[in-house]
Amino acid sequence: MTRSRSLRRWSGYLYALPYLTLFGLFVVLPLLYGLRLSLFRWEMLSQLPPRFAGLGNYAEAVRDPYFWRSLVATFQFVALAVPLTVCLALLLAVGLKSLHGRRQAFYRAAYFTPTILTISVAGILWRWFYNSEFGLFNAYLGRFGIKVPWLTDTHWAMLSIVLMTLWWTVGGPMVVLLAGLQNIPPQYHEAAVLDGATGWKSFRYITLPLLRPVLLFVVVINVIGAFQVFGQTFMITRGGPEMSTRSLVQYIYETAFNNYRMGYAAALSWLLFLVIAVFSLAQFRLMKER
Amino acid sequence: MSEGARMHTLHKTSLILLLMASALLTTSFTGCGSGGRRVVTVRFWNGFTGPDGRTMLRLVKRFNQENPDVDVLMQRMDWATYYNKLFVAGLGGRAPEVFVLQTLAIPRFAKSGFVRGVDDLCAQPDGIDVHDIDANIWQGVAVAGKHYGAPLDIWPMGMYYNRRLFREAGIVDARGEPKPPTDRAEFLEALRKLTRPASGGKPDQWGFVFTNFESNVYSFMLQFGGEFFTPDDTRCIMNGPRNVAALQFCVDLIRKYKVAPPPENYDAWIGFRQGKIGMVFEGIYMLADLQKQQDLDFGGAPVPDVGGRRAVWAGSHNLCLRSDLQGPELRASWRFIKFLSDNSLDWAAGGQIPVRKSLRETPRFKGMAVQSAFAREIPYVVYLPRLPFIFEYQTEFNNAVEKALRGSATPQEALDTATANINKIMARERNAGSGGER
């Protein structure tokens, strides 16, 4: 009795073992190595071995204006991109649900397609779309006498990046939300209609509450992803103009692989990790309590 | 990295194909040398992803045909990430036998110990005559008295001008030929004549545009006699009055004289190609781009001297060797480098200037109009400051220039900030270097 129970308990781990091995080897171990590294001064160019520096790298980050600038840019991106992505994904999912059969499959695929593109392809494409003199957007807008400085103005650049991100990434959350919507048993809505609920009310009081677990998942995943924004800004603006779109991950990349300051880059990565962890926990709290 | 910025349209698929092809080649060639002789494989890395890559590939193929005992495998990657990959490969002991370093990267790679000096190889009977290379170019690859590569070419910044616009504006010599300006007064006069507002009041034609902040502004600063570091290289003094005056001159072109568009609303290089810009200062490597265009009547000339001293920004590609090469590999690699140097006129035809003086004396080179116009600048070209932390320096410099040209800081403020930041980096480097207590 006890033996089979303990066997059952361990068999779970046994099944997870292949994944856990890879996860431990390629995620947990490097993570811990990075944590150790963040306590060292390691300027790879100097040919000197790493030197223990305690929290020196973290102290440097606090005093580093570039760190704060890139953190602000990252927060701007998260604050703009996440709500827009989730709302648009939800809107599209609701729209798709009202379609059936082939038409649904067609539109679902159409909206999902951009997600398949790699960022290098999407980036080169959008850099051309956004080109203020010869780009696609300004060519159309020019007919109305409008010329938008998509990437060349510090105020516009981040908005342009967000717009591109919306196009590129909305497909993923849309598919997840659609699956969530389809899992809501139709009886609830039928009962609501009998009770006289209108479309908006049944969405607000039935669909949304039942969708909450899926929504939580989508929001959390999107926040984590948005904090790690790199490809879009790196491909389209290189962080410019005037570093207004240089995200924290880009700064970490440049610190590690252009300037070879490995310890400092590791410390910056751990600071990003902390920010993401705090936000993810807060979201779980917020959405679970109600 | 100006070249990198312009050429970073990396085609991932083509890179992957290239990798696959080179992997196939390696497996099929290394094992079985033809005729029983051992074939030495020389891996050759560079960042020639543009049309220059095709020119280089032709040279590599020719070398492989003429040297059956050597197999050179060329791998191209985008300049923007090239140095990262090279550095990491070097750390892991897997650096290629031969690789290209731009002059700005030499101090950095020399310091990290991946690069072999070439002085002994040049002095050998099958060496390269270093007196055939201009002294300032040869000095560019030197670190602490040792030379770390064979310079292949030089790309000075020169002036491209639109001959049609010059004629229309009446900037011509006695024979009616377009006359490029050579000093400040002529430059400003030409700019005024070339800038023409459209009917709506907004100019549709500009005299000049900043296509590359770094090379353009750096050249102006050099012409104004600006200094960047103290002679003993211990402190950055980039915010000196001459550099501030030079940067102010650049800002004035935009704000005061209104002969150049503000950088936020003009896509500079394409504007020149469209025939809307009178003059641009760019590297010789942009030539191929212009030559493709049939309907643009352009010329090349030395950059006018606006500050009282002749100077222009330049860069070079240098052929470098891995530091631990020995025996047949070293000999084969050097033979390849010598081949490229001797044949650098073929390389030049693709839009470059060879560093070998003897090659520049040939009628063939003199027939290359723009190349030989730009080559007149060689005696007074200046490379970027020689720093191991060059990429951090560039970030600071470009950030300052961008702020000033866009008007979000005065030239003095922008350069003060950059100078303070660079001095902080230097202090950090010193601490890392002297803190050897381990």
pLDDT in tens, B294-315: 889 999 999 999 998 999 999 9
User: Which pLDDT tens digit goes with each residue over A251-272?
Assistant: 999 999 888 889 999 999 999 9
Question: Does residue A56 form part of some domain?
Answer: no
Q: Is residue A29 part of a domain?
A: no
Q: Do the domain assignments include residue A117? A: yes
Per-residue pLDDT tens digits for B345-398: 988 887 889 999 999 999 999 988 888 999 999 999 999 998 888 889 999 999
Are A41 and B112 within 8 A, CB to CB? no
In words, the CATH class of domain B157-313+386-433 is alpha beta
pLDDT tens per residue, range B401-425: 999 999 999 999 999 999 999 999 9
Q: What is the DSSP string of B263-275?
A: GGG--HHHHHHTT
pLDDT tens for B225-251 read 999 999 888 899 999 999 999 999 999
Residue B31 pLDDT more than 80? no
Closest CA to A217 of A74, A27, A90: A90
Task: State the average pLDDT for chain A.
Answer: 89
Strand partners, B324: none
**Smallest CA–CA separation between B50 and chain A, in Å?**
16
Which residue would you say has higher pLDDT here, B215 or A2?
B215
Is domain B2-18+27-153+315-379 in CATH 3.40.190.10, yes or no? Answer: yes
B18 versus B77: the higher-pLDDT residue is B77
Total tally of structural domains belonging to chain A: 1
pLDDT at B362: 92
For B414, nearest residue in chain A (alpha carbons): A242
Contact call for residues B406 and B262 (beta carbons, < 8 A): yes
| pLDDT, mean of residues A219-230 | 92
SS3 category, B151 = strand
Q: Distance (Å, rounded) from C-alpha B65 to C-alpha B339?
A: 12
Give dist(CA B250, CA B194) in Å, integer: 17
> Which pLDDT value is given to residue B73?
96
Pick the range with the lowest mean pLDDT from B16-25, B42-51, B165-174, B358-367: B16-25
CA distance B35 to chain A (A): 44
Q: Nearest Cβ partner of B267 from A133, A238, A240? A: A133
> Which residue in B267, B389, B403 is closest to A242 by CB distance?
B403
Q: What is the mean pLDDT of residues B195-211?
A: 78
Say how far apart CA A283 and CA B326 lie, in whole Å: 60
The number of beta carbons lying within 10 Å of the beta carbon of residue B67 is 17
CB contact under 8 A, B406 and A241: yes
- The boundaries of every CATH 3.40.190.10 domain in chain B are 2-18+27-153+315-379, 157-313+386-433
* Nearest CB to A134 within list B9, B270, B403: B270
* Cβ separation A242–B436 shorter than 8 A: no
Residue A45, pLDDT > 50, answer yes
What per-residue confidence (pLDDT) applies to A189?
84
Residue B282 neighbours by CB distance under 10 Å: 26
Can you give the CATH number for the domain in which A129 is found?
A: 1.10.3720.10
Distance from CA of B53 to the nearest CA of A (A): 21
H-assigned helices in B256-366: 268-273, 287-291, 327-342, 344-349, 357-360, 363-366
What is the average per-residue pLDDT within A22-40? 93
Segment B163-184 mean pLDDT: 92
Note down the domain range covering A117.
Answer: 64-289
Question: B26 pLDDT band (50/70/90 cuts)?
Answer: very low
Closest alpha carbon within chain B to A154: B264
The answer to whether A283 and A222 have CB atoms below 8 angstroms apart is no
**Across all residues in chain B, what is the average pLDDT?**
86
State the pLDDT at residue B182.
94
Residue B202's pLDDT band, with cuts at 50, 70 and 90, is low
Separation between Cα atoms, residue B305 and residue B292, nearest integer Å: 29
Q: Is residue A22 part of a domain?
A: no
Q: Which of B265, B270, B390 to mutate to test the interface with A (most CBs of A within 10 A)?
A: B265
Mean pLDDT of A126-153: 85
Which chain B residues are closer than 8 Å to A243 by Cβ?
Answer: 399
Which residue is closest to A153 within chain B, CA to CA?
A: B264
Instruction: Give B71-100 pLDDT, tens digit per residue.
Output: 999 999 988 789 888 988 888 888 999 999
Residue-level pLDDT at B200: 60
B438: nearest CB among A45, A51, A242 = A51
More confident: A33 or B262? A33
What's the confidence (pLDDT) of residue B435? 39
A19 assigned to some structural domain: no
| Burial class for A102, CB neighbours closer than 10 Å (0-12, 13-18, 19+) | exposed
pLDDT tens-digit readout, B149-164: 999 999 999 999 999 9
With a threshold of 0.90, tell me whether the complex ipTM lies above it: no
- Residue B28: the pLDDT is 44
| DSSP conformation letters of B193-259 | HH-EE-TTSSEEEEEE--S-HHHHHHHHHHHTT---B-TTSSSB-TTSHHHHHHHHHHHHHHHTS--
What are the helix and strand counts (H, E) for chain B? 20, 13
- Note the Cα B52 to chain centre separation in Å: 13
